[in-house]
Amino acid sequence: MNRLQHETSPYLRQHAENPVDWYPWGDEAFQRAKSEDKPILLSVGYSACHWCHVMAHESFEHGPTAQLMNDLFINIKVDREERPDVDDIYMQAVIGLSGHGGWPMTVFLTPDGRPFYGGTYYPREPRHGMPAFRQVLAGVHDAYSNRRAQVEQAADNLRDALSRETLGIGGEASALNVDLLNTAYQGIGRGFDPTHGGFGGAPKFPQPMNLELLLRAYARTGDKTPLEQTLFTLRKMACGGMYDQLGGGFHRYSVDAIWLVPHFEKMLYDNAQLSRVYLHAWQITGDEFFRRIAEDIYDYILREMTAPEGGFYSATDADSEGEEGKFFVWSQSELEELLGDKAAAAIEYWGVSRRGNFEGHNILHVPNDDAVAAERLKISVEDLRASITAARNKLYAVRSQRVSPGLDDKILTGWNGLMLASLAEGARVLKRADYREAAVKNADFLLRVMTAPDGRLYRSHKDGTSKINATLEDYANLIDGLLELYQTTFEARWFDAARRLADHVLAHFAAQDGGFFDTSDDHEKLIVRPRNMQDNAVPSGNAMIARNLLRLAAYTGDARYEDAARGTLALLSEAMRQYPQAFGEALSAVDMLVNGLAEVAVVGAPDTVETSALLDVIRGPYRPNVISALAAEDVPGEAGIPLLSYRTMRGGQPTVYVCRHFACANPVTTPDTLRELLAGERNG
């Protein structure tokens, strides 16, 4: 076994028995490269990546290929989920070199870490116009050995191009206005697929950040187009094969344009974000379909993706028993044998056929409305739903006996923050005590186990070990989760922790020209300091921190928070106008900035009927630009949360103050008057 046997990352451990002499990222590998004057082969992937497994089987487990790698290079393997900083730098390099990126990522570096050549997947033998991996290895070695001056020049040029010390991308704070928001949501909408939902063609990704922006656009303008586009997309996704019809939760994305055939890995970050969008869709529409999907996702996460100590696991693999999707697919004969007289309903409802829709098997999906399926079966909709519930339970139980896809059970702070935010909001909106309990347990775990003695965060936890400096994404997402949990529990410790982490970000991540770097000022020195401003599969750390700094400014009146948020967003104003689909999270922050936040302070014991009725008015509808705080009794002076300072009950009744920039309307004590007051708010 190679050095990866000592790592905690499940992805790195997958390669521990390769004949490749792998190093983890670290000084040891770079020192050896310098001492032997060898280039570095950097391979980056993640545990649930199908093509990473393919390249591993074809090349890294292949003796002759491994021998060539060992003879010519110092080989480093990186889990991109543990090291998003390393991944981002070298992914930008690969995109600059080849015009596209992806995983597995293969990059060749000088011994001091500068990239000079790279790509993604390389096959063992030449095919589809791609050279064999061994041809690439030989060619890179030849260039490094015989054309060193060219390699050094290319490496210098690429490093300079990667620098993000100043962005120089234009943009002004005055452009953060209503016109920008309207241009953005209409621009995103032009890519809408009116037949199948979603945006663009195959492969099709869920894009939860842009769906959230469209819901905000509806709330702000009353324009039903963005709402209808979002609801249609959410329905199509949840009825497709991209959604696990038996166990809940979404797969990563659809390889086709109709949401039928997914890449079968399931990622925590997708389900964290999508559960929140479905929750918001239910708040807006009251349609139980959206509530059911949100709850099914939460239940899946708590059932299958939660560690005993409270952290949420990262992902499950696409493959089981060496085959992609094998765990999830069915034959018609299996359903007939397992379900007996209930099989006909299941076959009709889930679009099952003898021929199948995926390599001779069936990915379960819901091709028709319940009423259409019931009509074809000559039964009532109620009987159909009862039959499907029974069939789902039976098939899920049978499926649980299959060989499961691999579980990536490392716990990542940033992804946990996303899930914490959704679960905490779901707990209060859906009034689910079990969700609240799980959210509290998760937050306690993150602040206790993922926090260093000096108060800084770790990125990753596995097998009792927390390690790696947290990135901006980790801080920003955890702050979001803690602010949501505060609004669910009104326990000040969660707010205090969020503010402490935000102050740390301001002190250690800020860039001189506005916005933030992805790594702190005392982070490991890399060839450049990464600074990613646009959304990827997870929201941009810059956008997420901007949105939460605006909320903290509303809670505290501290101008540092709003100034930093404005500075971040101003950098992006022109980019958001031209490429709105890449900046959904930042545009949501602009929506918050343009509309202003309604600051709602409640005074009253939270467990009384009267206070609960007031809280229902605040929490029930979709109010994306409302923040809330609660004091159980009168606050005659300064409070730890400044929004609560000098708030008292009127006439002994629970009382609500609705404010903007700490200027408040007359306090109210009844649900009806509070509802009227909030209805006057934009986004109300």
DSSP secondary structure letters along 323-350: EETTTT-B-HHHHHHHHGGGHHHHHHHT
User: Using an 8 Å Cβ cutoff, are 466 and 456 in contact?
Assistant: no
pLDDT score for 118:
96
The answer to the question of residue 630 being in a domain is yes
The answer to the question of residue 381 being in a domain is yes
Residues 6+ positions from 549 with CB-CB distance below 8 Å:
502, 561, 562, 564, 565, 568
Tell whether 49 and 9 lie within a shared domain: yes
User: Using an 8 Å Cβ cutoff, are 516 and 562 in contact?
Assistant: no
d(C-alpha 218, C-alpha 638), whole Å: 38
Tell whether 26 and 109 lie within a shared domain: yes
Tell whether 483 and 539 lie within a shared domain: yes
> Is pLDDT above 80 for 408?
yes
The answer to the question of residue 684 being in a domain is no
> Is pLDDT above 80 for 304?
yes
User: Using an 8 Å Cβ cutoff, are 435 and 477 in contact?
Assistant: no
> Is pLDDT above 70 for 93?
yes
Of 401, 417, 449, which residue sits at a domain end?
A: 401
> Is pLDDT above 90 for 167?
no
Tell whether 591 and 607 lie within a shared domain: no
Query: 525: which DSSP letter?
Result: P
Reference 495, options 589, 424, 566; nearest CA is 424
The answer to the question of residue 170 being in a domain is no
Categorize the per-residue pLDDT at 684 as very low, low, confident or very high, splitting at 50, 70 and 90.
Answer: very low
SS3 471: coil
pLDDT score for 663:
87
Query: 403: which DSSP letter?
Result: P
Give the pairing type, strands 626-631 and 598-603.
Answer: parallel
Taking residue 349's Cβ as centre, other Cβ atoms within 10 Å add up to 26
- DSSP string spanning 198-247? SBSSSSB---HHHHHHHHHHHHHH--HHHHHHHHHHHHHHHHSTTB-TTT
Per residue in 311-347, pLDDT (tens digit) is 999 999 988 898 999 999 999 999 999 999 989 999 9
Lowest mean pLDDT among 168-172, 320-324, 487-491, 614-618: 168-172
The two three-digit tokens of residue 502, written as one number: 């935000």
The two three-digit tokens of residue 338, written as one number: 């397992």
| For residues 594-599, average pLDDT | 95
d(C-alpha 227, C-alpha 211), whole Å: 9
The two three-digit tokens of residue 675, written as one number: 């509802």
The answer to the question of residue 171 being in a domain is no
SS3 175: helix
> Is pLDDT above 60 for 181?
yes
Q: How many residues does this entry show for the chain?
A: 684
Tell whether 352 and 425 lie within a shared domain: no
Q: List % helix, strand, coil for the chain (3-state, nearest 5).
A: 50, 15, 35
Distances (CA, A) of 101 to 98, 108, 255, 607: 8, 15, 17, 52
18 membership: H or E segment, kind and range: none
| For residues 187-202, average pLDDT | 96
Residues 6+ positions from 437 with CB-CB distance below 8 Å:
none
Cα angle 552-553-559, degrees, rounded to a multiple of 5? 140
Residues 6+ positions from 71 with CB-CB distance below 8 Å:
none
- DSSP string spanning 432-453? -HHHHHHHHHHHHHHHHHSB-T
Of 569, 595, 621, which residue sits at a domain end?
A: 595
Tell whether 485 and 367 lie within a shared domain: no
Global pTM value: 0.96
Per residue in 263-276, pLDDT (tens digit) is 999 999 999 999 99
Torsion 202-298-456-557 (CA) sign = positive
End-to-end Cα spacing for the chain: 60
The answer to the question of residue 169 being in a domain is no
Tell whether 334 and 276 lie within a shared domain: no
Of 162, 185, 209, which residue sits at a domain end?
A: 162
Is residue 413 packed enough to be buried (19+ CB in 10 Å), middle (13-18) or exposed (0-12)?
buried
The two three-digit tokens of residue 555, written as one number: 């809670």
Question: Which value, in Å, is the radius of gyration of the alpha carbons in the chain?
Answer: 26
Domain of 416, CATH number, reads 1.50.10.10
The answer to the question of residue 191 being in a domain is yes
Per residue in 440-477, pLDDT (tens digit) is 999 999 999 999 999 999 999 999 999 999 999 999 99
User: Using an 8 Å Cβ cutoff, are 81 and 105 in contact?
Assistant: no
The two three-digit tokens of residue 376, written as one number: 């074809």
Give the pairing type, strands 465-469 and 458-462.
Answer: antiparallel
pLDDT score for 164:
87
Domain of 607, CATH number, reads 3.40.30
Q: Give the chain's domain count.
A: 4
> Is pLDDT above 80 for 114?
yes
The two three-digit tokens of residue 680, written as one number: 């006057």
Residue identified by tokens 């408040």 is: 664
Residues 6+ positions from 670 with CB-CB distance below 8 Å:
none
The answer to the question of residue 168 being in a domain is no
Tell whether 39 and 184 lie within a shared domain: no
pLDDT score for 682:
45
Tell whether 61 and 155 lie within a shared domain: yes
Which residue range(s) make up the domain with 342?
A: 328-401
**In DSSP terms, which residues pair with 263 in a beta bridge?**
253
User: Using an 8 Å Cβ cutoff, are 241 and 262 in contact?
Assistant: yes
628 membership: H or E segment, kind and range: strand 626-631
| Mean pLDDT for the chain overall | 96
Tell whether 576 and 436 lie within a shared domain: yes
Distances (CA, A) of 204 to 153, 181, 316: 39, 24, 20
Tell whether 250 and 335 lie within a shared domain: no
Tell whether 423 and 501 lie within a shared domain: yes
Domain of 9, CATH number, reads 3.40.30.10
